[in-house]
Structure 1
């Protein structure tokens, strides 16, 4: 009987899924609506804010918000307000969540040494949300039953079941102790979208190459948490170098309209 109920539950869930294409034309299966993903992002971000101390440094907060706000203003959808929080931690990490949330750890500022390099990371993380990678990951966790049963879903109806699994699928492995990594195709898509996004926001896309070189040097052989599931740095840097021919004209066209330079605190 349990097996039959689980099968029926699976069919009900999968019936509502959408099969679409990613920005690069790769097929995506998305089980959740944008509203459900926003609810999950809101819940996850609220939990992180309870667990992680926020930075009280006004200069750092102003700097990070300046970079993040320029990135989000370059997005096609201007109706979504974005919340930006700087967390006081040595972690070299950042993330973006559905529902309009960006988290940046102060440790990242030791590696992303200027506004353009910080914009590379924030643009990349926002790109994951923009390309529905978050939905894709959570859907993959749901379909594979990684540590859960399909019947346990409760998004938008009395809370969220298996929060840790979903947070891991959103890339929040630092908070929950394990992670369901993005695939290389997703990472490459986020690199492409993120570099174009930062260029449209008036940040120099050439800094993306230097940023990932810095990342590859950080944290010894293991590298920082941000790189724990990412493609090899040589592969990533080569792709970013190839992207400059397209990204630089976007930057040259947009930087003329940029009025505020984001000043890194000394």
Structure 2
């Protein structure tokens, strides 16, 4: 799909060229990251490779740093939930809602770019339509979302959140905030670009993961279409206003899903994580 391939290229180009120009203006140097990535000196930042696209990306924090920060933040959040009387369900919980979530999560995780990473779902007893990741090993879901969705629809949300982790979006956002802090121009343009592009990439990868799991990928467009039709849709908007509207999201996911299904058999099924109808490394 030419447009999507160009999208990934332009996304990488803007991240790389614009980010490098900002860093150069502030007397910082960018150096290729070693494996594992390290800071070469006080004024150099590691240039890491995106785990999905294999392209260079300015992602300052290392995976271990992200995991530590996410673990600390999640610990504080879970304590806050519990202080408010909300139940928190973790791996090993016999709760029916958690068992269902964990089973669907495991199936999607096994088809992702990070199938060998240790990640798991956390379920919070909260009647809100919400799911999020802090970029570490956990993805948080509220019961208000889990109980409202069918298995396929919930699998898409799971795949979307796992995609955020696989593509390093939390680290990219933190890096973007650093760049904004040292940039003299208006940071909102770069911020909006990252939010929209990250959401689109997560949607694209979610469709791929669902297809590899043998699930119906049309559920992605159906989910957003149904939510867009609700009069009280704001309470079901998982993402912020800077992201594509529900109606627009449903339309592009419908077109993407149809093209994906039409072309999927033209690709090597054993290499779909690297080459598929959405992108090809």
Could you state the TM-score of these two structures normalised by the residue count of structure 2? 0.65
Unaligned ranges ≥5, structure 1: 1-6, 147-178, 255-266
- The 1:218/1:67 distance shift into structure 2, 3 A limit, reads farther
| 2:222 paired residue among 179, 202, 210 | 210
Q: Give the one of 141, 146, 149 matched to 1:104.
A: 141
- The 5 Å alignment of 1:68-107 reads 68-107=105-144
Q: 2:14 is matched with which residue?
A: none
Greater Cα shift, 53-62 or 198-207: 53-62
1:12-44 CA distance string (max 9 Å, x none) = 666123265685698742111111111122222
CA–CA distance in 2 between the matches of 1:71 and 1:137?
24
Distance 2:136 2:222 in 1: 30
Q: How many matched pairs?
A: 213
**Aligned counterpart in structure 1 of residue 60 of structure 2, from 10, 31, 44:** 31
SS of alignment partner, residue 112 of structure 2: coil
2:42 aligned with 1:17, yes or no? no
Rate the CA distance shift 1:10–1:92 in 2: closer, same or farther, 3 A. Answer: farther
1:67 match: 104
Counterpart of 2:200? 188
In the TM superposition, what is the alpha-carbon distance from 1:9 to its structure 2 partner?
Answer: 9.8
| Partner Cα distance (1:76, 1:204) in 2 | 20
- 17, 37, 40: which is aligned to 2:69? 40
RMSD: 3.4
> In the alignment, what sits opposite 1:58?
95
Q: Determine the C-alpha separation between the residues in 2 that align with 1:64 and 1:240.
A: 23
Structure 1 residues 21 and 84 mapped into 2: Cα distance closer, same or farther (>3 Å)?
closer
* Whole-Å separation in 2 of the counterparts to 1:130 and 1:80: 9
Farther off after superposition, 194-203 or 241-250? 241-250
Q: Using CA pairs below 8 Å that are at least 6 residues apart, which structure has the higher relative contact order?
A: 1
Say whether the 8 Å CA contact 2:51–2:113 is kept in structure 1: no
Aligned equivalent of 2:248: 235
2:54 and 2:80 map into 1 onto residues whose CA distance is 38
Q: Is the 1:13–1:31 Cα contact (8 Å) retained in structure 2?
A: no
Q: Alpha-carbon deviation of 1:191?
A: 0.5
